[in-house]
Chains A and B, each alone.
Chain A
Amino acid sequence: MSARELLPTATGRDTARLAWTLVRRRPGAVWLTLLAFVGAGAAGVVPVWLIGQVVDAAFGEDASTGTVVRAALGIAVSAVVWGALTAVAIAALTRAVAPALATLREDVLDRALHLPSQRVEAAGVGDVVARVGDDVRTLTESLDEAVPALLTALVTIVFTVGGLFGLDWRLGVAGLASAPAYVLAVRWYLPLSLPWYQRERIAEGERAQALVTGMQGAATLRAFGREDRALAAIDRSSRGAVEITVGVYRLLTRFGARLNGSELLGLTAVLLAGFWTVRAGGTVGEATAAALFFHRLFNPIGAVVHTFDTVQSSGAALARLAGVAGLPVAPAPAQAPAEGDLTLAGLRHAYEPGHDVLADVSLVLAAGERVAVVGATGAGKSTLGAVVAGAVSPTAGRVHLGAWELTAAAEADVRRRVALVTQEVHVFAGSVRDNLGLAAPDAPDDALLEALDRVGARRWVGALPTGLDTVVGEHGHPLTAAQAQQLALARVLLRDPVLVVLDEATAEAGSAGARDLDAATDAVVAGRTALVVAHRLDQARAADRVLVMEAGRVVEQGPHDDLLTAGGRYAALWAAWSR
C-alpha cells in the first residue's frame, strides 16, 4: 500500500483554540447546559442526605414519623427536579454541540472542495469523508457521553465530599484516602492505552481502504476474476482491526479492575472511620450516610476517570477536523476586467523536481481563437491545459488574459473566466437540474433547457422519466458516458466563461459517442478562446491552429492544412488517423 499524503492535522494549541471558538458561538445553550447539569447533580445528591436523616429519625433519640414523611417527600420532589433538569440539560447540550459540529464539518468540506484536486486525490477522498463523517460522529458520541457524565459527576463529587466533611471531618478524610489509588490507576492506564488507540485508528483506516478498493473496483475485479485477492485483503485488514480492538478492551478491563480496587479501598476506609467516630460519640446515621455517600461516588468517579480516555480519542478527531477547517478560506473573487489575447510566457512545470513536464512554452492565443493540442502521451498536453485553466500553478512562467495575470489570481477569480472540462466524467448524484445547477444555481429552466439543446442533450433529457427532475448519478437513472459529458459541456455554457479548456473531453465517451460530442464541442467553443487537447484529429482539423507537443515543448504549430503541407509530425499523425 503506497503512502497516502493525508491532509493536515492541527496542533494541540490550534485544536484547543478551535474548540474554544465553537464553545463561545452559542453561549446561551452552553450556560443552560452547565446550569441544568449542575442543578441535576445537586438534585441527585439530596436523597442521600435525606436518607441519613431518616436513619437518624428512626434510630435516634427523637424518633418521629414527621421527619420520615418529610424526608420521603423531599426525595420525591428532588427526583422530579432531577429528571426534569436532566431532560433539559441533555437537550441543551445537543443544541450547543450539534450546530457547532455541523458548522465545523461544513467548513471542512468547504476547505477540501477549494483545495487543488490533486491534493485531495493524493490524500484520498476517503480521508475527507472520514473526517466529515466518522470524526464528527466520534466527537458527537463522546461529547454526548462525556459532558453529562463529567458535569454531573463533578457536581456529585463536590456535593458528596462536602457532605462527607459536613457529617464529620474524619469521614471526609477517610473518603479522600482513596484518591491516590485512583490517580495511580489513571497514570498506569493512559500512557499504555495511547499507542493502542493510535494503532486501532490506523487499522480501521486500512480496513476502510480495503473495502473501498473492493467495492469501487467490483466491476473490474469481477470481469477479471480477481475477487479472491480483494476479499483476502478485506479479511486480513478486518481481522487485524478485530485483534486490536479486543486488545484495547482487555487493557480497559484491567483498568476497570484497578478502579474497583480503589472503590473498595475508599469504602473500607469510610466504614472503618465510621466505626471509630461512632465509638467517639458520632451517630450511626452519620456513619451510614457517609458509607452511602461514598457508594454513590463510584459511578461519578468512574465517569471522570473515563473522561480522560474520551478526551484522548475525541481530541484526535477534533484535531483532524481543525487541521482542514483551519486551512485558509478561498478569497472572494476580485472584479478585474479580463478580455483579450491569452499570452503564455516561458511556462515550465515539474511535478517532481528535475522532471520537467512543460519545458519553456511561450504562445499567444488571439481572443476567440480555437487552438488544438496534439502529441504523444507524456508530451505535456494535459499539464499545459491545467496550467492555462489555473488548476496547476506552473513552476515558472506566466499566463495573462489581456492585462490580467491569471497565474497570480485567486482560483475563484480564474474560474469566473476559465472553464476546464477533462475526460474524468462524473455524474453527480442528484437530479439533472442539480447537475447543471452546480454551474449556475439560479438559472431558470428555460436557460437549462437551452444549454441542453445546444449540446444536443435536450432530446434525451426530455425522454427521461421526469425530465430535468430525473435523478441521475450513482443512485439514479444510468447515463452513457457521452450523455454524462454532454451535461458537463452544458455546465460550461451556463457558466459562460471567456476561455475554455477541453482536455480529451470526448475520449471516455467511446468512438461512437465521441461523434455526438463533436457538435456539442463546437457549441461550447463558439465565441470563446479555446484550448482543445485532443486525440481525435477531426477536433484538430476544426481548430484555427494546431500545436504539436513533444517532451514538454511545442514542436510544430500552424493551421491544419499548412501542417499537412509541411509534412512533419502532424502530417504523419494525420496519415495514421485518416487511413
Chain B
Amino acid sequence: MSGAVATPTTGLGILRRAVCRHRRVLAYGFPLLAAWQVCETLVPAAIGLVIDRGVATGSVGGLVLGLAALIAVFAVLSNGYRFGSRFVVRGIEEEGHLLRTELAAHLLDPRGVRTPLLSGETLSLATSDATLVPMVFRQLGFAVAATAGLVVAATYVLLVDVRVGLLVLLGVPAVVAIVQLVSPVVARRTHTQQERTAAASGLAGDLLSGLRALKGIGGEDVAARRYAGASADARDATIRLARSWGALDGLTLALSGLLLAAVTLLAGLRALDGDISVGELVALVGITQFLAEPLTALGSLSAQFARSRASAQRIADLLAAPPLLPSGDATPVGDLRLDGVVADPLAGLDLAPGDGELVAVAVEDPDSAEALGAVLSALRPTEQGAATLGDVPLAEVDARHRRAHLLVAPHHATVFEGTLRSAVDPGSELSAERLEEVLAASAADEVVSLHPDGLERAVRAAGTSLSGGQRQRLALARALAADPPVLVLQDPTSAVDAVTEQNVADGVRRVRAGRTTIVLTTSPALLAAADRVLLVREGRVVAEGSHADLLGESAYVEVVLR
C-alpha cells in the first residue's frame, strides 16, 4: 500500500499525504474551480456591461457585445465547475478508497492490531472517517476558488474605483477574521456531537449483538431505555451545535450585508458626483452582494477542516496502533517447545510435543488454559522462560511463517457467511475425499446431512443460523482442513455430546496422524486418544503419562472425572 513511505502518525500528516498522492487530479481540478468562481464574480460585471453599452445607450451593437460577454462568462463558469468538481470528486473517492483498504489491511495484518475500539467503531472509521478525510480536497478547492474570486473581485473594483476598491479590500478580510472568532466553538461542538452520535450507534450495535442474551432475561425495555439516554445525549449535542452553526451563518450574512451597505453608500455617492457610470455602479454593488457566497464558504471552511482533521487523527491513531502479535524475520524449521514459561497464572510450564505426537493438556483452571492458548498464539509474551519454534522465540518468528507452521485454532472461531462448504474449505482447495475425511473426523458430516441442501446449505453472517455445537464442528473441520504442521485445538468438543466426542477424538487422531497436535481439554475421550497427557495445576505440569496411567493419580482424576 504505502510501500516504503512511512505511515503518517498525525492527522495533518494523513491530510498532507492525501493531497500529495492526488496532486495530479487536484492540479487539474483547482484551476478549473478557480475559473468557475472568477466567472461567477464577473457575471455582475457582464450585466453592468450590458446595461452601460446597450440598455442605457439604446445601441443594438453594444447590447449584442454585452450579451456575448455574458455568454462567454457563462460558458467558462459552467464548464469550469462541471469538470473541475469532477476532478476533485474523483480525487475524494480515490483517497477514500485508499484509506479504507489501508485501514482494512492494517486491521487484518497477520500480526493483528492492539486497539481499544469496538468493532462498530472501526467500521465507522473505515466508512465515515475515511469519507471525511478526503473532503479536505473539496475544502481546499473551494478555498482556492473563493480566494481567486475575491482577488478578481477586488481587482475589478479597484480598477473601477480606487476608494470603493480599498473599502472592499479592507472589508473582506475583516469579515473573514471576525467570523473566525466563532468557528472554534463550532469545531468543538462538532467534535462532541460526532462522539455522542457514534456512542449511541455503538450502544445500539452492542445491544443488538447480545439480543439473545437480552431476550432470555427480558431486558429489552431496560436496554431500550439505556439507548434512549444515549440518543438524548446525542440530540442535545446536535441542538447545541446547531445554535453555533446558526450564529456562524448569521454573523457571516450580517457582516457581508453591512459591507454591502458601506459599498452601496460610497459607490452611490461617487455616482452622484459623476465619477462612475451606472453600469459600473451595478457591477460594484452586484459584486459586493455576490461576495457573501465565497465569504460564507471561507467562513465555514475552518470548521469543516477541523472535522476532517479530527477524522484524520482518528485514522492516524489506528494506523499507529501497535500490532497485537510480535513478528520478527526468522523463519525457523523445527519443533514447538515451551520451557519454564511464566505468564500469570502460568508458573514455569514445560511443553515439548514430539514430531507427529498427539499431546493432550488437561488444565485445572480456566485462567491457565486461556493463558496457555495466548502464549501459544504469541498473543502474550512470556515473563520468564521461552516459547520457541525450532529454537527461535515465537515472538521473533515472522508472523506469516509462524502461522503457516503453527495454527492455534481460536476457541471462539467465527463461521463466515456463505455455505457449509465454504465454512470448512474457504479456498475451495480440498479434494472431495479430503473434504469427506475432515468432515467425518469433526462429526461435521452430521451437520451436513441434517439439511436437504447438504454442503450447499446457506450459512448466515457469523453463523447465527447454526447452533453452537454445529458451529464448533465446522470450525474444527476447518482447522483440520488447514492441515498445519503443528495444530493447537482449544476445547474442540465442549458443545458436542459424549458419543460424538468419542468420534471426534478418533477422527482427530486419524486425520492428524504423523502431524504434531496439541489439544487443551479435560474431555476423557480426547485425553484417552492422546499419545501423552500433561496435567497442569497451579500453572505448571504436575503429572505426565497416558490417560490410563494417570487415572491412578488422584489429582488427575479430580480434574478429568465428570
Roughly how many angstroms separate A482 CA and B367 CA in the complex, as a whole number? 10
Roughly how many angstroms separate A222 CA and B96 CA in the complex, as a whole number? 25
Roughly how many angstroms separate A112 CA and B232 CA in the complex, as a whole number? 18
The answer to whether A523 has its CB under 8 Å from any CB of chain B is: no
Q: Which residues of B contact A222 (CB under 8 A)?
A: 108, 110, 112, 403
23 A–B contacts from the bound complex (CB under 8 Å): A47-B264, A54-B268, A65-B269, A75-B264, A79-B257, A90-B250, A106-B227, A106-B228, A113-B211, A113-B224, A140-B238, A207-B127, A261-B78, A271-B51, A284-B51, A291-B282, A378-B446, A378-B450, A434-B226, A504-B468, A535-B497, A574-B498, A579-B524
Q: Are B197 and A137 in contact (CB under 8 A)?
A: yes
Chain A residue nearest to B547 (CB atoms) is A579
**Least distance between B520 CB and chain A CB atoms (Å):** 8
Roughly how many angstroms separate A305 CA and B174 CA in the complex, as a whole number? 34
Q: Which residues of A contact B200 (CB under 8 A)?
A: 105, 132-133
Q: Are A572 and B499 in contact (CB under 8 A)?
A: yes
From known contacts A121-B464, A491-B217, infer whether A535 and B496 are also in contact, taking CB-CB under 8 Å.
yes
The answer to whether A124 has its CB under 8 Å from any CB of chain B is: yes
Q: Are A215 and B282 in contact (CB under 8 A)?
A: no
The answer to whether B297 has its CB under 8 Å from any CB of chain A is: no
The answer to whether B306 has its CB under 8 Å from any CB of chain A is: no
Which of A84, A89, A144, A250 lies in contact with B86, CB distance below 8 A? A250
Q: For residues 329 through 385 of chain A, which have their beta carbon under 8 Å from a beta carbon of chain B?
A: 330, 355, 374-378, 382
The answer to whether A221 has its CB under 8 Å from any CB of chain B is: yes
Q: Are A117 and B215 in contact (CB under 8 A)?
A: yes
**Least distance between A52 CB and chain B CB atoms (Å):** 10
Roughly how many angstroms separate A382 CA and B522 CA in the complex, as a whole number? 25
From known contacts A246-B90, A287-B51, A572-B499, infer whether A412 and B218 are also in contact, taking CB-CB under 8 Å.
yes
From known contacts A76-B261, A213-B416, A415-B215, infer whether A125 and B205 are also in contact, taking CB-CB under 8 Å.
yes
From known contacts A55-B278, A211-B127, infer whether A239 and B97 are also in contact, taking CB-CB under 8 Å.
yes
Chain A contact residues (Cβ within 8 angstroms of B): what range?
Answer: 35 or more
Q: For residues 24 through 60 of chain B, which have their beta carbon under 8 Å from a beta carbon of chain A?
A: 43-44, 47, 50-51, 54-56, 58
Which of A214, A274, A473, A536 lies in contact with B206, CB distance below 8 A? A473
From A14-22, A312-320, A397-405, A416-424, give the one contacting chain B.
A416-424
Q: Are A274 and B364 in contact (CB under 8 A)?
A: no
7 nearest A-B pairs in the assembled complex, by CB-CB distance: A79-B257, A83-B254, A415-B218, A87-B250, A94-B242, A426-B210, A90-B246
From known contacts A87-B247, A377-B450, A509-B494, infer whether A234 and B101 are also in contact, taking CB-CB under 8 Å.
yes
Q: Which residues of A contact B264 (CB under 8 A)?
A: 47, 50-51, 54, 68, 71-72, 75
Chain A residue nearest to B443 (CB atoms) is A377
From B8-16, B158-166, B329-337, B407-415, give the one contacting chain A.
B407-415
The answer to whether B437 has its CB under 8 Å from any CB of chain A is: no
Q: Are B261 and A271 in contact (CB under 8 A)?
A: no
Which of A80, A268, A507, A578 lies in contact with B254, CB distance below 8 A? A80
Q: Could you mark each residue 221-250 of chain A with 1 if its beta carbon is under 8 Å from any beta carbon of chain B, else 0?
A: 111111101110011001100100110011
**Least distance between A272 CB and chain B CB atoms (Å):** 8
Roughly how many angstroms separate A50 CA and B119 CA in the complex, as a whole number? 58
Q: Which residues of B contact A491 (CB under 8 A)?
A: 217, 219
Q: Are A129 and B222 in contact (CB under 8 A)?
A: no
**Least distance between A567 CB and chain B CB atoms (Å):** 15
Please indicate which of the listed interface residues B241, B468, B562 has the most CB atoms of chain A within 10 Å of its own CB. Answer: B562
Roughly how many angstroms separate A257 CA and B85 CA in the complex, as a whole number? 12
Q: Which residues of A contact B348 (CB under 8 A)?
A: none
From known contacts A68-B272, A211-B104, A218-B112, infer whether A55 and B227 are also in contact, taking CB-CB under 8 Å.
no
Q: Are A495 and B490 in contact (CB under 8 A)?
A: no
Q: Are A231 and B101 in contact (CB under 8 A)?
A: yes
Q: For residues 447 through 483 of chain A, which have their beta carbon under 8 Å from a beta carbon of chain B?
A: 473-475, 480-482
From known contacts A82-B253, A422-B212, infer whether A507 and B469 are also in contact, taking CB-CB under 8 Å.
yes
Q: Could you mark each residue 477-509 of chain A with 1 if its beta carbon is under 8 Å from any beta carbon of chain B, else 0?
A: 000111000001001100100000000100111
**8 additional contacts (CB under 8 A) given A222-B108, A267-B70:** A58-B281, A114-B220, A211-B100, A212-B123, A218-B108, A295-B47, A480-B366, A513-B366
Q: Which residues of A contact B215 (CB under 8 A)?
A: 117, 391, 411, 415, 420
Q: Which residues of A contact B407 (CB under 8 A)?
A: 223-224
Q: Which residues of B contact A85 (CB under 8 A)?
A: 250
The answer to whether B202 has its CB under 8 Å from any CB of chain A is: yes
The answer to whether A514 has its CB under 8 Å from any CB of chain B is: yes
Chain B contact residues (Cβ within 8 angstroms of A): what range?
Answer: 35 or more
Roughly how many angstroms separate A441 CA and B223 CA in the complex, as a whole number? 10
Q: Are B56 and A278 in contact (CB under 8 A)?
A: yes
The answer to whether B461 has its CB under 8 Å from any CB of chain A is: yes
Please indicate which of the listed interface residues B272, B290, B377 has the most CB atoms of chain A within 10 Å of its own CB. Answer: B272
Chain B residue nearest to A357 (CB atoms) is B450
Q: Are A58 and B496 in contact (CB under 8 A)?
A: no
Q: Which residues of B contact A212 (CB under 8 A)?
A: 119, 123, 461
From A95-103, A160-168, A190-198, A553-561, give the one contacting chain B.
A95-103
Q: Are B206 and A428 in contact (CB under 8 A)?
A: yes
The answer to whether B538 has its CB under 8 Å from any CB of chain A is: no
Which of A208, A425, A488, A576 lies in contact with B498, CB distance below 8 A? A576
Chain B residue nearest to A276 (CB atoms) is B55
Q: Which residues of B contact A156 (CB under 8 A)?
A: none
Q: Are A91 and B216 in contact (CB under 8 A)?
A: no
Roughly how many angstroms separate A507 CA and B461 CA in the complex, as a whole number? 21
Q: Are B218 and A225 in contact (CB under 8 A)?
A: no
**Least distance between B393 CB and chain A CB atoms (Å):** 19
The answer to whether A395 has its CB under 8 Å from any CB of chain B is: no
Q: Which residues of A contact B265 (CB under 8 A)?
A: 68-69, 72
